[in-house]
Each structure stands twice: as C-alpha cells, then as structure tokens.
Structure 1
C-alpha cells in the first residue's frame, strides 16, 4: 500500500482528516470549551439585542434566539466532547441552537458576524478578567511591602553591590526599591488592561458588513471601554497579546530578583529573615533543617511564567498581518499558564512577607562590619578638612588596608593612625577628633544624614511611604472601579435581554 492510500485509509477523504482532528481541532475545541463557552453566549445575546434594536431581525426571531441561548446556557457544556461533524465550538453550539429553535431562526444569529471578530472578542473578555486578578494580587503584595517597610524604617542593614556589603541602608529603603519596581509593573498592567478592553465586534471577517449594525452598542453591552476603530486592526492586530506577555516577563523577572535575595537572607549564614512554620518544610533525615521550600518553589514558577509568556512572541513571530484566530487559539493557554504562575508567586510572597520575622540586631551589627561606613569618613574629610574627594578616598583606602593587614577592626581607627596615613599621601595633620571619627563610622548616623531625595534617612523614607500609600489607594480604587464596571455590564446585558423578552407581554 502506497503512502497516499495509507493516509486516506487512516485519515479518511472528507473534512476533517483524523490526524488534523486529533492534533489540532480536538485540542482547540477543549480550549474553547474551557474558556470561551460563557463569553460566546454573552456575545451572542448582545448580538441578538443589537440586531433587534437595529431592525435587522424582528421581535419574534429575537425572542426565539434569546430563549434558545438561555436554554443552551443552562446545559453543562464542560461535558460536551468534540464531534468531528462540527469543526469547533461555534458550529457545535449553532447546531444545538438549530435543534431547539429551528435551522432558519438559528441561522439569523450569524447575520453580520464572523468567527474572526467573535473569537478575538472572546479572547479579550477572558484576558481582561485575568488581568484584573493580577492587579488584585499585585496590590495585596505591595500593601504587605508597605506595611513591612513602615515597621523597619530604622532597621539598619548593609546594602549590597556586586554581592558584597557596600554601604548601610535600612530594610525599609531596600523594600521600597522593590515596591517601586512592582508599582511600575502595575502601571504597565493598567495600560495592558486599557488596550485589552477594546471591542473588535463588528469587524466581522475583516471589512465590517453592509448591514446597519451598531458596534458602539455591542461595546456597551459587553463592558468594553471603546471600539477598535479600524476593522482590519480588529482581527489582525495582536500587539495586545505581546504587550501582556512582555509585562508578565518584566514582572516575573523583577520578582525573581526578590526571590534570590530572600532565599539568601533566609540562609543560616545570613540569618536575616526567619520564615514562620507554615512556609518551611522539615528534612526527611536532618531534624534541624528548616527548608524555605515555599520560596524555593516560586523560582521555577517565575521561570515558567516567563517561558510561557515568551511563547507568545515565538508563536506570533513572522505570522501575516491578517486573520490570526487559529494561531491565537493555541497561543492563549500559554498566556493563561503564565498568568496562573504569576499569581501563585505573588500569593506565596504575600503570605511569607506578611508573617516573616526580621533579625534587626544582627542586621545592625552587620552594618558595623566590613568597613562599609568608610565612605562617610571620606566625605567627612572633604567636608571638615577641605580635602579633594580623590585625596580623601586615597587616605580612607589606606586606612582599610592598614586595618586588614594588622588584623584590626573599624573601631580601632584613631586620629594618630589617620594622621600617619594622611602624611603618606602628602597631607599634613588632619586634627580630627575621636568623636568625629566615631560619628562618621556609625552606621545609624550614615543612614540618618542621607536625607537627599530617595535616600534611606528615616524622615525621607517616611515621606516616600506617605506618597506611596496615597498612590496605592488610587491603584486599589482603579482595580475596584474596573471590576465594578464589568459587574455592571453583566447586569446591563442581563436586564436588556430580559426586557426584550417582556416586550409585548
């Protein structure tokens, strides 16, 4: 038997071929069944209302269509299996509607619409809900970061560059830096939402229709903020997907940095953060172990979120600017998985950071180690003795080297040592007092005098916190407002449909 005969025997000679159905159509149907059935019914009901209001179909047809859709909506569509007699969910539902109200009336539903604009509308309706969920979880975590920052405005700790202790800062200053990164993520997500929540309905296949439809009315009934004006853009533009994907990649990359630092701070060697019992696991053999498994599991979650989001670019790359519904149907689950993992990461960190303990005394002591306050000693020599910073830097570098070579600590610096080392670089006696040296090398003083905008001084940190508390209230209000808008649109559609059914009764 030749290959052609073999394929025709196994796949058949009519649409759809078994291989095509098994590899593509059945998996796509399962995706449609899980995510798009309810949006499909909502869009269909809104479409019936609009067609009636525009006098494209009559009242009797409208009522029959709504009653048929209501009956289908009550059925458990999750139990429906793919049937090769129907290409996808669209035709499956259309067939069920024909069984209920008759083929002729059911066929009126498809006036002035296509799977192109219908599918894109479903994608956008699902994604906007998921984006709102990200907003909620990101707000929850940011609130926890703000609360933790308020508790640790004066918790002095080392700041690190190149993974080495660099200068003293505070835990609040450190946490607010992450908070600000996540706030920019929130702004990106808000913009993504605005670009997702636009209606493509009415584009039909690509060029709209000769029927006098009302796209703005559909936009209102389905809770969109506005209409995508150009009908070609409605069905071909996919940048809203890439915008969401890139935002998810940025957010999870930001979170991955916090994951890395937090796991380091939980080690016995760092011993700065102590996770409470619900978020650590015991070793199966070593009874002393407290494994921060809750956080360890977030690493692959964040990586998976980035990888799934990157699939969006890989799948859309080099596709034509035209109908990309088929591509998007297989693409969407990658976005959903990325969102799911992102939410898990945010949920875990919200719980862990809301309950963890901080070793304040240890962090303060660490700030006194490693000569990380000598930058302020160099600055003091500039301010008090009029030295150039370059010369002052040489002197303090010599001091650190001298202390290390002689197995001394930073507390062993004396005016005499300073004068001796200053003379080696051509500076006469500095005449700096022990009190000035001690003050310059005190990590608490180091932090307190850094009052420049954005610095770690407690008063500046409090100012930043106040501003961020105002802004997050605005962000929470935005989240609540758009959530309510979607709830209201559901009620508007429901009331409109019910009122249509009551006409003439």
Structure 2
C-alpha cells in the first residue's frame, strides 16, 4: 500500500525526500552542470570585480574569491552527481568556495545578489549563444539558396497556386521567395538577440539591494548590451523566452513548407531535384530505389523543433508574474532542443542544396503544359484589342475549355478559334496573328515581360539577387560583431579580475 508510513520510509522526513531528489532535484542538477556551471563562474567573477570596484569588499577579499573561482572553474563538472547535501549546483559551488577560502570570505561574494537574478542571467547568457548558433546556420543556408538562385535565373518552371500549375516563373524567383522569408527570420532573431542580451543582475531577489552596486558594470563585463532596467521585470519577465519560441516556430513552420515542396520535387513523378549519392539510401530489397532519406529524416527534426518551442507557451501560460520555477531549468532545455533540431535541419539542407542537380529540361517542358500562359493571352486581348479584362478572361476561359474537351493543347490555339469564340461572346470577331498567339503562349516571353518590381523577369530577378547578397553580407558582418563582442567581454572580465593587492 502507498501509505504515509511507506512514503516516509522511502523518502525520510527531512529535506530533500528521496522521491524529490530522483524526480526533480537530480535532473535539474544535470541541466545545471551541463549548461550553467561556466556562466555561473563568469557571473560570480563579474560580481566580485564590481563589489571590489564599489568598495563593498576589499582587494584581498576580491583576490581570494577570484582565485577560488578560478580553481573551481578548472573542475570538470561532467562527472559530478547530485549530492543531497546541497540543494542545487549554486550551493554546491558555494560550498566548494568555502572549502577553498573560508566560509566568511566566500560569503562576501553573495552580497547584493540572489539565486533569482543569477539564474536568469545564466539563462540569458546560454540562450544568446544558442541564438547565435541558429543565426550562423541560417545565414549559411541563405548563402546556399542565393547561389542556387544565381544558377537558375533563366530556369523557367511552373509556379503553383492551390497545388496546381498556375503561371510560368523561374526557379530563381521561387528560391528567392523562400530566401526572403529567411531574411525576415534573420531580422526576428536579431531582435530576439537584442531582447535576450540585457542583464538582470542587480535585481537580486526582485527589488534590488541597499548596497551601492553598479549594475551597468556587471552587464559590461558579461557582454550584455544593457540592463533589464526594472528589477521586478528582470525577475518576473519571461517574454524573452516566448519571443525565442515564437521566432523558432515561425521559421521552422516556413521551413517545413519549403521541405514539403523539396520532397515533392525529388519524387520520380516530379523529377525536378536529383539528390547526390551521400544523401540518399537504397532500399534493402528494391535495388532501383533512391530514397531521399536525408530529407525525410530532417523533416521530423523540423517538426520536433516546432514542438519543443511550443512547450514554452504550454509551460508558461497561467503562471504568476513573479519569481517562479516554471521558467527555470525544466523549461530552458526545450528551447535548447528546438535550437538543436533547427541547426541540424539547416546544416543538412545546406549540404543537400549545395550538391543537388536541377532538371531544367523537365521544368521547361512543364512550363509549356496546362495552359499556364493563358493569362498572357487574356492580357493581349486587353492591351492590344481594347477589351475589358472580364471579357478577355471569359473568351480565354472558353478557348481553354474547348481545347481540353477536344484533347488539344495550348499550341493548337488558332486565329480562327479566337475569332469564333470572341464572335460568340462579343458579337464581333477578334483577329490575332499567329505570331501574336505564339508570343502570348511562350513561357519565356511570359516571364521576360514581367519586369514589374518583384517579378520573375531575369533582369528583375538579378536585381533582387544582387540586393539579397548585399543584405546577407551585412547580416554576416552583424553576426561577426556579436561574436567579437562576447569574446571582447570575456577578455575584459579576465583583465578586470586581475586585481592588484592592497599595499
């Protein structure tokens, strides 16, 4: 029986109970040691430097604290197991420091800080690194797509609406369309990085402290661009988490749609993309099969990225606006896993799209099928013959229905057919020359005359491509600046931690 006596026999009657250890505290400790040990040491160093500079602790105290932190930093936390003697990693490291420099001096480090602001600072430090991983993989894939677009400026193909062939376009026009959504994703992640890259340190428990600390200094030493100014917001605000989850879900949802097209294009029926051998698997029984397994395995990774990010909203809704464990170690790894699957997907797709072959001939053939240039025939009746578009649309629609009914194709449209149907609709015949009809039905001409901003005409696509390449170059430079900024702050922290002993 699961009785009080039975539970107390297993768990004991003092903190922490065995069940609490196994189900909560030990898994949380594993997350802490895997992700937060190094950030915790950096935060502690920055705090010690600031306390010294503000004359809250002496140089001797600061030096001993920093020396002890350096020794702890050299310990491999990977082998550490949860010890019920300490509630969590914070208290375990604090105990290590006490053993090294004495309890009184170690305790000086905890002036004007709390686990609350330390934890959130750790979360922000780790998450900004994860965001930079995404940005790097995202920019690489964008570069791959822009190279593919450049190679296919004149690769005419059908554009699809409602999954049906609609009008001629080019593969470059299609690729650029998806790349542009990735460019907006980049902008979202830049905004996200700027949201995350603010320091909560100094908020302490939630209302700051009576000590004369310098919040800006710890932010500077840890590479933050500024502060979460309101201390209550610094502890309670978790929209940096939901913003991250949103950006990941938006990007991966678009990516999943692009992957749907890609897998369709790899089918024998479409026969548009041919994957290189490193990215296909042969059936165990059917020797002719070339299964696009690299893409099939990537598709669920994208789905998992979306699912893990969505967990953030599921966990956070209806929680109090204050310090609450729901935002902490059990939530954060969902974002890390979402990032992991996202980066995997981008890396896989970057390799696949760099090496795939495009069947340009089949795309060109299909651009001549299905009457997809009929819009231009209707447009000619408007531009050259002065008809309203509704009349031209009706005439062209009847022409297409007539051809379909009689098993004919667009090339079978004749001046006489146009004259007969226009006579039926308008009461007068419209005369078009054979050359005019052929030009209207030519998919290359269809594409070439669509020079309106954003259209598929090669001259316009080349302009867009050139602009996108310039934008990507600027985006990559911004990523480089983020990386260099964090590296510079690490050097600044180490230099500041080299405190001269008092005379």
Give the TM-score category using the shorter length: over 0.9
The alignment partner of 2:365 has SS state of: helix
Contact 2:48 2:109 in 1 (8 A): yes
User: Match for residue 489 of structure 1?
Assistant: 489
| Cα RMSD, aligned residues only | 1.1
User: Match for residue 168 of structure 1?
Assistant: 168
Contact 2:60 2:502 in 1 (8 A): no
The alignment partner of 1:51 has SS state of: helix
Unaligned runs of 5+ in 1: none
User: Match for residue 364 of structure 1?
Assistant: 364
Deviations 1:475-499 (A, max 9, x none): 111100011000000111111112x
Q: CA deviation at 1:2?
A: 7.9
Normalised TM-score (structure 2): 0.99
Count of paired positions: 503
- Summarize the Cα distance change of 1:415–1:122 in structure 2 as closer, same or farther, 3 Å threshold: same
- Pairing of 1:204-353 with structure 2 (within 5 A): 204-325=204-325, 327-353=327-353
Contact 1:116 1:325 in 2 (8 A): no
How far apart, in 1, do the equivalents of 2:26 and 2:317 lie?
A: 25
Normalised TM-score (structure 1): 0.98
How far apart, in 1, do the equivalents of 2:163 and 2:60 lie?
A: 73
How far apart, in 2, do the equivalents of 1:279 and 1:427 lie?
A: 60
Deviations 1:162-207 (A, max 9, x none): 1110000000000010001111111000000000000000000010
Q: CA deviation at 1:463?
A: 1.0
Contact 1:119 1:325 in 2 (8 A): no
User: Match for residue 122 of structure 1?
Assistant: 122
How far apart, in 1, do the equivalents of 2:82 and 2:378 lie?
A: 75
The alignment partner of 1:159 has SS state of: strand
Q: CA deviation at 1:327?
A: 3.5
User: Match for residue 22 of structure 1?
Assistant: 22
The alignment partner of 1:253 has SS state of: helix
The alignment partner of 2:288 has SS state of: coil
- Pairing of 1:3-18 with structure 2 (within 5 A): 3-18=3-18
Q: CA deviation at 1:60?
A: 1.1
The alignment partner of 1:477 has SS state of: helix
User: Match for residue 413 of structure 2?
Assistant: 413
Q: CA deviation at 1:409?
A: 1.3
User: Match for residue 355 of structure 1?
Assistant: 355
The alignment partner of 1:297 has SS state of: helix
How far apart, in 2, do the equivalents of 1:231 and 1:210 lie?
A: 13
User: Match for residue 381 of structure 2?
Assistant: 381
Unaligned runs of 5+ in 2: none
- Pairing of 1:440-459 with structure 2 (within 5 A): 440-459=440-459
How far apart, in 1, do the equivalents of 2:63 and 2:3 lie?
A: 53
The alignment partner of 2:407 has SS state of: coil
User: Match for residue 42 of structure 1?
Assistant: 42
Contact 2:274 2:357 in 1 (8 A): yes
Deviations 1:322-350 (A, max 9, x none): 10245321000100000000001111111
Q: CA deviation at 1:59?
A: 1.2
Q: CA deviation at 1:407?
A: 1.2
Contact 2:315 2:326 in 1 (8 A): no
Contact 1:120 1:325 in 2 (8 A): no
The alignment partner of 1:166 has SS state of: strand
The alignment partner of 2:432 has SS state of: coil
